[in-house]
Each structure stands twice: as C-alpha cells, then as structure tokens.
Structure 1
C-alpha cells in the first residue's frame, strides 16, 4: 500500500508540475515538440509504476457489499462518463488546436453546456464507478488519484488557458461552468442546451458497450449490460 500511495503521488505530482509551473520554462528552453516527448515519457513511466504497484497488492476484502443495483448504478455512471468523453473530442477550445480561440466564441451546447471540462469529469466519474463496485483500499486509492488529478487538473487548465488564450478563454468561462449543471441550477442557462449532440450520445454508447464488453473479455469482472446477458 505504501508503494501504491508513493507511485500515485509521483503520477499526480509529475502531471501537475509539468502541466503548469514547469511547462512554459521547459517548453521555451527545449522546444514544444521535445517537451511533449519528455512529458509523455514521464506520464507513461509513472502510470506503469502505478499499475504495477496496484497489481502487486495482495487480495483485500471489500469494504461494502456489491449487489446488482450498485452495479447498475456504476454502469450508468460509466455511460455518462463515456458520453462526456466523446463529446469533449469535438468543438473543445481546451484542446490544442489552431482554431481554439474561434471555437471559444461559439455558444456552448451539449456536453459543454453541462461543464467546460467534460473530459476531466468523465475521468472522475469513471473513477467513482470503479470505486463503487471494487471497494477495496487499493482501488479507492487508485480511484481517488484519478479523480483528484482530473478535477484539480481541470482547475489548473482554466488558469493556464486564461494566460494562453486571454479574452477568448475568459469569454468561454463566462458562459460555461466548472461544476456540471451549475449554470442550469443557477438559472443562467436552459436545460435544453445540455442535450448531448449525436457524436457524443451515440459515440459514448458505442464506447461504453465496447469498453464494458472488453472488461469481461480480457479476464476482468463482467461489467455493464454484459453482466446480465
């Protein structure tokens, strides 16, 4: 457990440090391409360390009973996470693309009307679902690590993008929310805007079906609808 906690701390710490305080000085000195290579190597190496530490944990008894209703809830959460993730791949000004500033001027619709960080919240929801149905200390540490990195990273991304994109990003943040559905509950935006677009909805369903099928096919616990088919 100590090794798992240390490797998780390295994984999160290296991501946050390289993504924010060290990004500009290192990228300026090394060049953007070289920095991306270093960043990717560090990310992969620390992730492998986390996975190896997690796999080396001895069997642990679950902290609570997991029944079919809890599995159904977790499966629904993963479906929502998949829709958020697929929706985040199109029309996302947070992604490094040449037209990001122009994209930020568009009216937020679909998953971006829910939150301006649909990808990060998708990761956090994925982590929550796994914690619900695999309630062991090791899995809770791993899920907490992923959720923390996603949500703290999203907050840091707001600061970084404001520096990089200036008024374009500030205009985007003024019409979107960090917390899901915050603008709808506050009466600042209509609920109809949050209906996922086709690529998010159908793409998310396909990803969910494939991912949950693969969960059982690869030798892990059967997940999603495949538990009952």
Structure 2
C-alpha cells in the first residue's frame, strides 16, 4: 500500500472507531461489558489506532512544502498554539462536556473564561493545534493528518452535543443556549460581553506553561524548533 493510502486508511480507522464507540455502539457495548470493561476496550482501541496513524504518518517519504514558511507564519502558528493551549487547560476545570459526576452542576454556572469563548474548548484546542501544524509543515502528509484530527474534533463535538442533551436533558440544553459551538460567536453576535471571555488564571497560566514546554520539546526531541525558542539562543 502506498504511504499516503496507508495514512488515509489508518486515519479512517482512528476516526471511525472513535466515533462509533463514542456514540452508536457505546450503550450496547457498555450494557454487555459493563462500564469499566467498555472503558478499557475503548482506551485500547483508541490507543492502538492512534499508534497506527502516527506510524503511518512517520512512514511518509520526504515531501516538498506546498508554500513558503517564513517568520510571520511561524509567529501566527505559535500564537495559535498558545491560544489552543489556553483553551485546553481551561477546559479541564468546570467543564460540563466532560464525563464527570458534577457535569449538571457545572452547567448551571454562568459561562466564563474559555467556556464563554466556546462550550467545547478542549476540542477547539485540538483543532487549532492541528491547524497550526499544517501551517508551518505544509506537506501533503501533514495536511492530511491535521485534517483527520480537525474532523474528529469538530464532528466529535457535534456528537457530544447530541449525547449530552440526551444524558443531561434540560441542564445541557440550557448550557448550550448560553454558550456557542463556534468560538466567539455569541460575542460577535452581541449576545454576550467580550469581558466574559478573559481566560481564568488556571487557563492562562497553565496554558502558557504547557505551550512553553511543548514548543521547547519540539527542538529537544529533534523536531523543528517551535514557539519563542526559534528566536532564542
């Protein structure tokens, strides 16, 4: 199988298994296997298909970039990854979308910080992270990999909306009515103040630290030097 074909096939397996186990197959399998058994199976399948996807991507032959990557583009990509890191860290606390016992209680709170930006900050963090990588590594293989991650994150978020509405009922519907799927949509539409979108300290500090460590690790692990480290040293 050609390297690009293998990348696409493993991408379909990764996305397809994730969406199938998260939605149409979940209730039936969890009922037969028990919640713990299902979670173990889900994790094994997710990890295995992700490893297959990464190995297929690593097996791509050298490809010429589709456009010139200069300092302005690196600056843009670095800022996108910083914003994505802030969204991700902010999503870890008080997130009604996570499978936590206090999800319904969290949905009663007024949307603030990253949740005023979007009700799916974690998934948009993954989306922006993938987009930034495609910007600065514009090879066909990287663009396909980024597209796979973006598709899974956004389609998964839409599926999560439907699942949460079924599981949480009015609590989620009211949360969805006070938040937006697309970042800043409510602020642009005049339905919510921009001041609400200021990230909280744990998101801002945690996201910045994550960004600094992750971009430093790029160079330390032998990949392209990223973030502010490109202009230091």
Q: Which TM-score applies when normalising by structure 2? A: 0.98
Question: Matched residue pairs, number?
Answer: 229
CA deviation map 1:25-57 (0-9, x unaligned):
111111110000000000000001111111111
SS at match of 1:11: helix
> Which residue of structure 1 aligns with residue 176 of structure 2?
173
Equivalent in 17, 21, 26 of residue 20 of structure 2: 17
CA deviation map 1:66-102 (0-9, x unaligned):
0011000000000000000000000101111111111
Equivalent in 65, 69, 80 of residue 66 of structure 1: 69
Runs of 4+ in 1 over 3 A off after TM superposition: none
> Which residue of structure 1 aligns with residue 118 of structure 2?
115
CA–CA distance in structure 1, aligned partners of residues 99 and 17 of structure 2: 20
Matches within 5 A, 1:155-170: 155-170=158-173
Q: Where in structure 2 are there 5+ consecutive unaligned residues?
A: none
> Which residue of structure 2 aligns with residue 213 of structure 1?
216
CA–CA distance in structure 1, aligned partners of residues 123 and 175 of structure 2: 17
CA–CA distance in structure 1, aligned partners of residues 101 and 62 of structure 2: 48
CA–CA distance in structure 2, aligned partners of residues 51 and 175 of structure 1: 37
Q: Which TM-score applies when normalising by structure 1? A: 0.99
> Are 1:79 and 2:92 an aligned pair?
no
CA–CA distance in structure 2, aligned partners of residues 60 and 38 of structure 1: 36
CA deviation map 1:181-207 (0-9, x unaligned):
111011110000000000000110000
CA deviation map 1:152-208 (0-9, x unaligned):
000000000001111110010010000001110111100000000000001100000
> Which residue of structure 2 aligns with residue 144 of structure 1?
147
> Are 1:185 and 2:185 an aligned pair?
no
CA RMSD of aligned residues (A): 0.5
CA–CA distance in structure 1, aligned partners of residues 230 and 155 of structure 2: 33
CA–CA distance in structure 1, aligned partners of residues 54 and 21 of structure 2: 21
CA–CA distance in structure 2, aligned partners of residues 163 and 124 of structure 1: 25
